Amino acid sequence: MTAILGIETSCDETAAAVVRDGREVLAHVVASQHDLHAKYRGVVPEIASRAHLERIGPVIEEALHIAGLGFDQIDAVAVGNRPGLIGSLIVGVSAAKAIAWAAGKPLIGVDHVQAHLHAASLYFPASGGGGSGLHTPPEPPPPPRFPALGLVVSGGHTALYRVDSPSQIHRLGATIDDAVGEAYDKAAVILQLPYPGGPYLDRLAALGDPTAHRFPRSLLEPDSLDFSFSGLKTALLYAVRGHPQGRGDHARFEHSAAELTDRQRADLAASFQAAAVDTLILKIERALDLLSAGAAPARSLIIGGGVSANSLLRARAAELGLRRRIAVHLPAMTFCLDNAAMIAGLAHEYFLLQRFDDLHLPAVATTAC
Ligand code: KG4
Ligand code: ZN
Protein backbone atom coordinates (compact mmCIF):
# COMPACT_ATOMS: atom_id res chain seq x y z
CA MET A 1 0.00 0.00 0.00
CA THR A 2 1.37 3.38 -1.05
CA ALA A 3 -0.09 6.71 0.09
CA ILE A 4 1.05 9.81 -1.77
CA LEU A 5 0.37 13.40 -0.72
CA GLY A 6 -0.37 15.55 -3.79
CA ILE A 7 -0.16 19.34 -3.98
CA GLU A 8 -1.53 21.53 -6.80
CA THR A 9 -1.25 25.33 -7.11
CA SER A 10 -0.68 25.93 -10.82
CA CYS A 11 -3.48 28.45 -11.39
CA ASP A 12 -6.32 29.56 -9.11
CA GLU A 13 -7.12 26.44 -7.05
CA THR A 14 -5.10 25.62 -3.94
CA ALA A 15 -5.42 21.85 -3.62
CA ALA A 16 -4.05 18.93 -1.63
CA ALA A 17 -5.00 15.25 -1.74
CA VAL A 18 -3.94 11.86 -0.47
CA VAL A 19 -4.21 8.96 -2.93
CA ARG A 20 -3.71 5.27 -2.17
CA ASP A 21 -2.03 3.10 -4.82
CA GLY A 22 -2.52 5.68 -7.57
CA ARG A 23 -6.31 5.57 -7.82
CA GLU A 24 -8.12 5.48 -4.49
CA VAL A 25 -8.67 9.02 -3.22
CA LEU A 26 -8.51 9.15 0.59
CA ALA A 27 -8.68 12.95 0.74
CA HIS A 28 -9.45 15.62 -1.88
CA VAL A 29 -9.40 19.25 -0.76
CA VAL A 30 -9.74 22.17 -3.18
CA ALA A 31 -9.83 25.82 -2.09
CA SER A 32 -11.05 27.78 -5.10
CA GLN A 33 -10.14 31.44 -5.57
CA HIS A 34 -12.98 32.21 -7.99
CA ASP A 35 -14.44 34.84 -5.66
CA LEU A 36 -11.12 36.75 -5.63
CA HIS A 37 -10.82 36.91 -9.44
CA ALA A 38 -14.49 37.30 -10.41
CA LYS A 39 -14.50 41.09 -10.59
CA TYR A 40 -11.52 41.01 -13.00
CA ARG A 41 -13.21 38.30 -15.14
CA GLY A 42 -9.94 36.37 -15.25
CA VAL A 43 -7.16 35.12 -13.00
CA VAL A 44 -4.87 37.90 -11.69
CA PRO A 45 -1.48 36.19 -11.17
CA GLU A 46 -0.33 38.34 -8.23
CA ILE A 47 -3.60 37.81 -6.33
CA ALA A 48 -3.43 34.08 -7.09
CA SER A 49 0.10 33.67 -5.66
CA ARG A 50 -0.76 35.53 -2.46
CA ALA A 51 -3.94 33.50 -1.95
CA HIS A 52 -2.02 30.23 -2.46
CA LEU A 53 0.47 31.34 0.18
CA GLU A 54 -2.30 31.97 2.72
CA ARG A 55 -4.17 28.73 1.98
CA ILE A 56 -1.55 26.10 1.23
CA GLY A 57 -0.77 25.21 4.87
CA PRO A 58 -4.38 24.74 6.04
CA VAL A 59 -5.33 22.88 2.83
CA ILE A 60 -2.49 20.33 3.26
CA GLU A 61 -3.33 19.90 6.96
CA GLU A 62 -7.00 19.30 6.11
CA ALA A 63 -6.13 16.67 3.48
CA LEU A 64 -3.93 14.74 5.91
CA HIS A 65 -6.58 15.05 8.63
CA ILE A 66 -9.29 13.64 6.33
CA ALA A 67 -7.00 10.79 5.25
CA GLY A 68 -6.16 10.14 8.92
CA LEU A 69 -2.44 10.12 8.16
CA GLY A 70 0.54 12.07 9.46
CA PHE A 71 3.55 13.23 7.43
CA ASP A 72 5.43 10.16 8.70
CA GLN A 73 2.79 7.81 7.21
CA ILE A 74 2.89 9.05 3.61
CA ASP A 75 5.30 7.46 1.14
CA ALA A 76 6.04 10.46 -1.09
CA VAL A 77 5.16 14.11 -1.73
CA ALA A 78 4.03 14.95 -5.27
CA VAL A 79 3.55 18.42 -6.70
CA GLY A 80 2.33 19.86 -10.00
CA ASN A 81 5.51 21.76 -10.93
CA ARG A 82 4.53 22.62 -14.54
CA PRO A 83 2.87 24.25 -16.49
CA GLY A 84 1.11 27.22 -14.93
CA LEU A 85 1.50 30.70 -13.49
CA ILE A 86 5.04 30.84 -12.22
CA GLY A 87 4.25 32.65 -8.96
CA SER A 88 1.47 30.18 -8.19
CA LEU A 89 3.58 27.11 -9.02
CA ILE A 90 6.41 28.29 -6.76
CA VAL A 91 4.11 28.20 -3.72
CA GLY A 92 3.18 24.54 -4.22
CA VAL A 93 6.69 23.48 -5.20
CA SER A 94 8.20 25.20 -2.14
CA ALA A 95 5.65 23.59 0.20
CA ALA A 96 6.28 20.15 -1.32
CA LYS A 97 10.05 20.53 -1.00
CA ALA A 98 9.77 21.65 2.62
CA ILE A 99 7.59 18.66 3.56
CA ALA A 100 9.74 16.18 1.61
CA TRP A 101 12.89 17.48 3.25
CA ALA A 102 11.48 17.74 6.78
CA ALA A 103 9.72 14.35 6.70
CA GLY A 104 12.48 12.62 4.74
CA LYS A 105 10.13 11.52 1.93
CA PRO A 106 10.76 11.30 -1.83
CA LEU A 107 9.72 14.33 -3.88
CA ILE A 108 7.95 13.82 -7.24
CA GLY A 109 7.31 16.62 -9.75
CA VAL A 110 4.32 16.04 -12.05
CA ASP A 111 3.22 17.73 -15.27
CA HIS A 112 -0.27 19.17 -14.66
CA VAL A 113 -1.46 18.49 -18.23
CA GLN A 114 -0.38 14.83 -18.10
CA ALA A 115 -2.06 14.54 -14.70
CA HIS A 116 -5.41 15.61 -16.24
CA LEU A 117 -5.24 12.36 -18.24
CA HIS A 118 -5.00 10.40 -14.98
CA ALA A 119 -8.14 11.97 -13.48
CA ALA A 120 -10.49 9.46 -15.14
CA SER A 121 -8.86 6.63 -13.17
CA LEU A 122 -9.57 8.12 -9.74
CA TYR A 123 -12.31 6.99 -7.34
CA PHE A 124 -13.26 7.29 -3.69
CA PRO A 125 -13.08 4.33 -1.30
CA ALA A 126 -16.41 2.65 -0.56
CA SER A 127 -16.26 4.02 2.99
CA GLY A 128 -16.28 7.62 1.81
CA GLY A 129 -12.97 9.44 1.33
CA GLY A 130 -13.42 13.09 1.51
CA GLY A 131 -13.00 16.72 0.92
CA SER A 132 -14.72 19.41 -1.04
CA GLY A 133 -17.37 18.85 -3.71
CA LEU A 134 -17.81 15.09 -3.62
CA HIS A 135 -19.66 13.24 -6.35
CA THR A 136 -18.74 9.66 -5.54
CA PRO A 137 -18.69 7.36 -8.55
CA PRO A 138 -20.50 4.11 -7.67
CA GLU A 139 -17.52 1.82 -8.15
CA PRO A 140 -13.90 1.98 -9.29
CA PRO A 141 -13.79 2.74 -13.02
CA PRO A 142 -11.97 0.15 -15.14
CA PRO A 143 -8.41 1.28 -15.91
CA PRO A 144 -7.83 2.42 -19.52
CA ARG A 145 -6.20 0.06 -21.99
CA PHE A 146 -3.08 1.28 -23.79
CA PRO A 147 -2.18 2.65 -26.24
CA ALA A 148 -4.92 5.18 -25.71
CA LEU A 149 -5.90 8.41 -27.41
CA GLY A 150 -5.84 11.24 -24.86
CA LEU A 151 -7.60 14.60 -25.11
CA VAL A 152 -6.89 17.37 -22.60
CA VAL A 153 -9.39 20.21 -22.74
CA SER A 154 -8.77 22.90 -20.14
CA GLY A 155 -8.57 26.65 -19.69
CA GLY A 156 -4.91 26.68 -20.64
CA HIS A 157 -4.54 23.65 -22.93
CA THR A 158 -6.26 21.80 -25.72
CA ALA A 159 -4.25 18.90 -27.10
CA LEU A 160 -4.45 15.31 -28.36
CA TYR A 161 -1.96 12.69 -27.19
CA ARG A 162 -0.96 9.14 -27.92
CA VAL A 163 -0.78 7.62 -24.44
CA ASP A 164 1.41 4.49 -24.41
CA SER A 165 1.23 4.27 -20.62
CA PRO A 166 0.33 6.78 -17.90
CA SER A 167 3.94 7.95 -17.87
CA GLN A 168 4.63 7.81 -21.63
CA ILE A 169 2.65 10.48 -23.43
CA HIS A 170 3.34 11.93 -26.92
CA ARG A 171 1.58 15.00 -28.24
CA LEU A 172 -0.19 14.57 -31.59
CA GLY A 173 -1.60 18.08 -31.93
CA ALA A 174 -2.57 21.17 -29.94
CA THR A 175 -4.35 24.47 -30.27
CA ILE A 176 -2.62 27.08 -32.38
CA ASP A 177 -4.46 29.92 -30.63
CA ASP A 178 -7.05 29.77 -27.80
CA ALA A 179 -7.59 26.73 -25.60
CA VAL A 180 -11.20 25.53 -25.75
CA GLY A 181 -11.82 26.46 -22.08
CA GLU A 182 -10.41 29.91 -22.77
CA ALA A 183 -12.78 30.24 -25.77
CA TYR A 184 -15.69 29.25 -23.48
CA ASP A 185 -14.63 31.83 -20.90
CA LYS A 186 -14.31 34.57 -23.54
CA ALA A 187 -17.64 33.56 -25.10
CA ALA A 188 -19.24 33.85 -21.66
CA VAL A 189 -17.85 37.39 -21.32
CA ILE A 190 -19.29 38.27 -24.76
CA LEU A 191 -22.69 36.93 -23.60
CA GLN A 192 -22.32 38.77 -20.26
CA LEU A 193 -22.48 35.58 -18.18
CA PRO A 194 -20.93 35.30 -14.68
CA TYR A 195 -17.29 34.24 -14.07
CA PRO A 196 -15.88 31.60 -14.61
CA GLY A 197 -17.92 31.34 -17.77
CA GLY A 198 -17.58 27.76 -19.04
CA PRO A 199 -20.10 26.08 -16.71
CA TYR A 200 -22.60 28.97 -17.07
CA LEU A 201 -22.42 28.81 -20.86
CA ASP A 202 -22.88 25.03 -20.72
CA ARG A 203 -26.05 25.41 -18.61
CA LEU A 204 -27.47 28.21 -20.77
CA ALA A 205 -26.78 26.20 -23.95
CA ALA A 206 -29.16 23.48 -22.72
CA LEU A 207 -32.02 26.02 -23.06
CA GLY A 208 -31.20 27.12 -26.62
CA ASP A 209 -31.42 25.91 -30.22
CA PRO A 210 -27.98 24.67 -31.39
CA THR A 211 -28.98 25.18 -35.05
CA ALA A 212 -29.98 28.82 -34.64
CA HIS A 213 -26.54 30.01 -35.82
CA ARG A 214 -24.05 28.12 -37.96
CA PHE A 215 -20.70 28.96 -36.34
CA PRO A 216 -17.40 27.75 -37.88
CA ARG A 217 -15.85 24.36 -37.08
CA SER A 218 -12.18 25.02 -37.76
CA LEU A 219 -10.55 21.74 -38.80
CA LEU A 220 -7.36 23.19 -40.38
CA GLU A 221 -5.50 20.98 -42.92
CA PRO A 222 -7.17 17.62 -43.78
CA ASP A 223 -4.78 15.55 -41.62
CA SER A 224 -4.10 18.18 -38.96
CA LEU A 225 -4.64 17.24 -35.32
CA ASP A 226 -4.19 20.85 -34.21
CA PHE A 227 -7.09 23.02 -33.06
CA SER A 228 -8.09 26.65 -33.58
CA PHE A 229 -10.87 28.32 -31.60
CA SER A 230 -10.25 32.03 -32.15
CA GLY A 231 -12.45 32.13 -35.30
CA LEU A 232 -15.37 30.64 -33.38
CA LYS A 233 -14.99 33.24 -30.65
CA THR A 234 -14.91 36.07 -33.22
CA ALA A 235 -17.97 34.65 -35.04
CA LEU A 236 -19.88 34.74 -31.76
CA LEU A 237 -18.73 38.30 -31.07
CA TYR A 238 -19.97 39.48 -34.47
CA ALA A 239 -23.27 37.59 -34.10
CA VAL A 240 -23.86 39.35 -30.77
CA ARG A 241 -22.56 42.83 -31.51
CA GLY A 242 -22.55 43.17 -35.32
CA HIS A 243 -19.50 44.07 -37.37
CA PRO A 244 -17.21 46.64 -35.78
CA GLN A 245 -16.13 49.97 -37.21
CA GLY A 246 -12.47 50.65 -36.40
CA ARG A 247 -10.04 48.22 -34.79
CA GLY A 248 -8.71 47.15 -31.41
CA ASP A 249 -9.69 49.30 -28.43
CA HIS A 250 -11.23 51.88 -30.78
CA ALA A 251 -13.66 49.41 -32.42
CA ARG A 252 -17.31 50.53 -32.25
CA PHE A 253 -20.01 47.90 -32.52
CA GLU A 254 -23.56 48.20 -33.85
CA HIS A 255 -25.15 46.39 -30.88
CA SER A 256 -24.59 45.58 -27.23
CA ALA A 257 -25.07 42.18 -25.59
CA ALA A 258 -27.49 43.90 -23.20
CA GLU A 259 -30.00 44.14 -26.10
CA LEU A 260 -30.29 40.32 -26.40
CA THR A 261 -33.46 38.58 -25.28
CA ASP A 262 -33.08 35.48 -23.06
CA ARG A 263 -34.07 33.33 -26.04
CA GLN A 264 -31.43 34.90 -28.30
CA ARG A 265 -28.76 34.52 -25.62
CA ALA A 266 -29.59 30.83 -25.12
CA ASP A 267 -29.57 30.20 -28.90
CA LEU A 268 -26.16 31.86 -29.22
CA ALA A 269 -24.80 29.78 -26.31
CA ALA A 270 -26.21 26.55 -27.77
CA SER A 271 -24.83 27.30 -31.24
CA PHE A 272 -21.40 28.15 -29.79
CA GLN A 273 -21.38 24.95 -27.72
CA ALA A 274 -22.44 22.84 -30.74
CA ALA A 275 -19.56 24.24 -32.82
CA ALA A 276 -16.95 23.86 -30.05
CA VAL A 277 -17.91 20.27 -29.21
CA ASP A 278 -18.35 19.27 -32.87
CA THR A 279 -14.78 20.43 -33.46
CA LEU A 280 -13.45 18.36 -30.55
CA ILE A 281 -15.38 15.25 -31.63
CA LEU A 282 -14.32 15.60 -35.28
CA LYS A 283 -10.67 15.87 -34.20
CA ILE A 284 -10.98 12.83 -31.92
CA GLU A 285 -12.39 10.85 -34.85
CA ARG A 286 -9.60 12.05 -37.12
CA ALA A 287 -6.97 11.06 -34.56
CA LEU A 288 -8.55 7.62 -34.06
CA ASP A 289 -8.52 7.11 -37.84
CA LEU A 290 -4.87 8.16 -38.12
CA LEU A 291 -3.84 5.89 -35.24
CA SER A 292 -5.82 2.97 -36.77
CA ALA A 293 -4.04 3.51 -40.10
CA GLY A 294 -0.67 3.35 -38.30
CA ALA A 295 0.98 0.67 -36.20
CA ALA A 296 -0.83 1.31 -32.92
CA PRO A 297 -4.62 1.76 -33.03
CA ALA A 298 -6.01 3.32 -29.85
CA ARG A 299 -7.62 0.80 -27.48
CA SER A 300 -9.32 3.47 -25.40
CA LEU A 301 -10.09 7.19 -25.31
CA ILE A 302 -9.18 9.23 -22.23
CA ILE A 303 -10.49 12.77 -21.75
CA GLY A 304 -9.47 15.20 -19.00
CA GLY A 305 -9.32 18.88 -18.06
CA GLY A 306 -11.97 21.37 -16.96
CA VAL A 307 -13.98 21.17 -20.19
CA SER A 308 -14.41 17.40 -19.69
CA ALA A 309 -17.15 18.50 -17.24
CA ASN A 310 -19.10 19.84 -20.24
CA SER A 311 -22.47 18.12 -20.58
CA LEU A 312 -22.51 18.01 -24.39
CA LEU A 313 -18.90 16.81 -24.68
CA ARG A 314 -19.60 13.99 -22.19
CA ALA A 315 -22.73 12.92 -24.08
CA ARG A 316 -21.09 13.12 -27.50
CA ALA A 317 -17.97 11.26 -26.30
CA ALA A 318 -20.13 8.46 -24.84
CA GLU A 319 -22.04 8.22 -28.13
CA LEU A 320 -18.75 8.11 -30.07
CA GLY A 321 -17.52 5.30 -27.83
CA LEU A 322 -20.59 3.18 -28.56
CA ARG A 323 -20.48 3.92 -32.29
CA ARG A 324 -16.75 3.19 -32.67
CA ARG A 325 -16.64 0.43 -30.05
CA ILE A 326 -13.96 2.09 -27.99
CA ALA A 327 -13.97 2.48 -24.20
CA VAL A 328 -14.26 6.14 -23.20
CA HIS A 329 -12.76 7.23 -19.86
CA LEU A 330 -14.11 10.49 -18.45
CA PRO A 331 -13.23 11.79 -14.97
CA ALA A 332 -15.89 11.85 -12.25
CA MET A 333 -17.18 15.45 -12.21
CA THR A 334 -15.21 16.41 -9.11
CA PHE A 335 -11.91 15.41 -10.79
CA CYS A 336 -12.48 17.31 -14.08
CA LEU A 337 -11.34 20.65 -12.70
CA ASP A 338 -7.91 21.29 -11.24
CA ASN A 339 -7.23 19.10 -8.21
CA ALA A 340 -4.35 17.46 -6.38
CA ALA A 341 -5.67 13.88 -6.52
CA MET A 342 -4.70 13.65 -10.20
CA ILE A 343 -1.18 14.84 -9.26
CA ALA A 344 -0.80 12.26 -6.48
CA GLY A 345 -2.36 9.56 -8.70
CA LEU A 346 0.02 10.04 -11.61
CA ALA A 347 2.94 10.38 -9.20
CA HIS A 348 2.30 6.78 -8.12
CA GLU A 349 3.41 5.65 -11.58
CA TYR A 350 6.70 7.50 -11.09
CA PHE A 351 6.96 6.11 -7.55
CA LEU A 352 6.82 2.57 -8.94
CA LEU A 353 9.55 3.51 -11.44
CA GLN A 354 11.55 5.16 -8.60
CA ARG A 355 11.54 8.34 -10.68
CA PHE A 356 12.18 10.87 -7.92
CA ASP A 357 13.23 14.51 -7.97
CA ASP A 358 15.61 16.32 -5.67
CA LEU A 359 15.31 19.70 -3.98
CA HIS A 360 16.42 21.41 -7.21
CA LEU A 361 13.00 20.62 -8.76
CA PRO A 362 12.08 23.80 -10.66
CA ALA A 363 8.68 25.44 -11.18
CA VAL A 364 8.25 25.75 -14.95
CA ALA A 365 5.63 27.79 -16.81
CA THR A 366 5.47 25.48 -19.86
CA THR A 367 4.30 21.89 -20.22
CA ALA A 368 6.66 18.96 -20.78
CA CYS A 369 4.32 17.37 -23.34
O1 KG4 B 1 -8.53 22.17 -16.00
P2 KG4 B 1 -9.03 23.45 -15.47
O3 KG4 B 1 -9.67 23.46 -14.12
O4 KG4 B 1 -7.89 24.52 -15.43
C5 KG4 B 1 -6.84 24.56 -16.35
O6 KG4 B 1 -5.93 23.70 -16.25
O7 KG4 B 1 -6.92 25.45 -17.23
O8 KG4 B 1 -10.04 24.02 -16.57
C9 KG4 B 1 -10.75 25.21 -16.36
C10 KG4 B 1 -11.55 25.51 -17.61
C11 KG4 B 1 -12.16 26.91 -17.62
O12 KG4 B 1 -11.88 27.51 -18.86
C13 KG4 B 1 -13.65 26.61 -17.43
O14 KG4 B 1 -14.49 27.59 -17.99
C15 KG4 B 1 -13.77 25.30 -18.17
O16 KG4 B 1 -12.63 24.57 -17.76
N17 KG4 B 1 -15.00 24.56 -17.80
C18 KG4 B 1 -16.00 24.30 -18.67
C19 KG4 B 1 -17.00 23.61 -17.94
N20 KG4 B 1 -16.58 23.49 -16.64
C21 KG4 B 1 -15.34 24.07 -16.60
N22 KG4 B 1 -16.12 24.57 -19.98
C23 KG4 B 1 -17.25 24.15 -20.60
N24 KG4 B 1 -18.26 23.51 -19.96
C25 KG4 B 1 -18.18 23.22 -18.65
N26 KG4 B 1 -19.18 22.57 -18.02
ZN1 ZN C 1 -5.92 22.07 -15.34
Instruction: Divide the 369 residues of the chain into consecutive groups of 10 and give the mean pLDDT of each group.
Output: 97 96 97 90 92 97 98 98 97 98 98 98 79 58 97 97 96 97 97 94 98 96 96 97 87 92 98 98 98 94 98 98 98 97 98 98 92
Nearest CA to ligand 1 atom 13: 198
Cβ of 338 closer than 6 Å to ligand 1, yes or no, is: yes
Dihedrals phi, psi of 77, to nearest 5 degrees: -115, 120
Regarding the beta carbon of 307 and ligand 1, being less than 6 Å apart is answered: yes
Question: Angle, nearest 10°, between helix axes 311-324 and 197-205?
Answer: 70
Q: Tell how far the Cα of 191 is from the centroid of ligand 1, in angstroms.
A: 17
CA distances from residue 132 to 59, 65, 218, 330, 360 in whole angstroms, order as listed:
11, 13, 37, 20, 32
Ligand 1 centroid from CA 200, angstroms: 11
| Ligand 1 within 6 A of CB of 195 | no
> Model's pTM, two decimal places?
0.95
Ligand 1 binding pocket includes 155 (Cβ within 6 Å): yes
Indicate the top mutation candidate among 307, 311, 367 to test ligand 1's pocket, ranked by most ligand atoms within 8 A of CB: 307
Cα-to-centroid distance, 246 and ligand 2 (Å)? 36
Please classify residue 255 by burial: count the beta carbons closer than 10 Å to its beta carbon, then call 0-12 exposed, 13-18 middle and 19+ buried: exposed
310 lines ligand 1 (CB under 6 A): yes
Which residues pair with residue 5 across a beta bridge?
Answer: 18, 77
Proximal ligand: closest to the CA of 337: 1
Ligand 1 midpoint to CA 78 (Å): 23
State if residue 202 touches ligand 1 by the CB under 6 angstroms criterion: yes
Q: With a 6 A CB cut-off, is 210 part of the ligand 1 pocket?
A: no
Cβ burial of 316 (10 Å; 0-12, 13-18, 19+) is middle
Q: What is the pLDDT of residue 234?
A: 95
Return the ligand number nearest the Cα of 315.
Answer: 1
Query: 86-103 and 45-67 helices cross at what angle (nearest 10)?
Result: 30
Helix (H, G, I), strand (E, B) or coil at 92: helix
Which residue lies with its CA nearest to atom 8 of ligand 1?
306
337 lines ligand 1 (CB under 6 A): yes
Regarding the beta carbon of 305 and ligand 1, being less than 6 Å apart is answered yes
CB distance 119 to 339 below 8 Å: yes
pLDDT reported for residue 158: 98
* Cβ of 115 less than 6 Å from ligand 1: no
pLDDT of the residue at 38? 87
What ligand has the least distance to the C-alpha of 154?
1
Range list of H helices, 128-254: 180-190, 197-205, 230-241
- Look at residue 334 in the predicted model and tell me its pLDDT: 96
In the sheet with 148-153, reading across from the earlier edge strand, the strands are 168-174, 158-165, 148-153, 300-304, 327-329
Q: How much is the pLDDT for 171?
A: 97
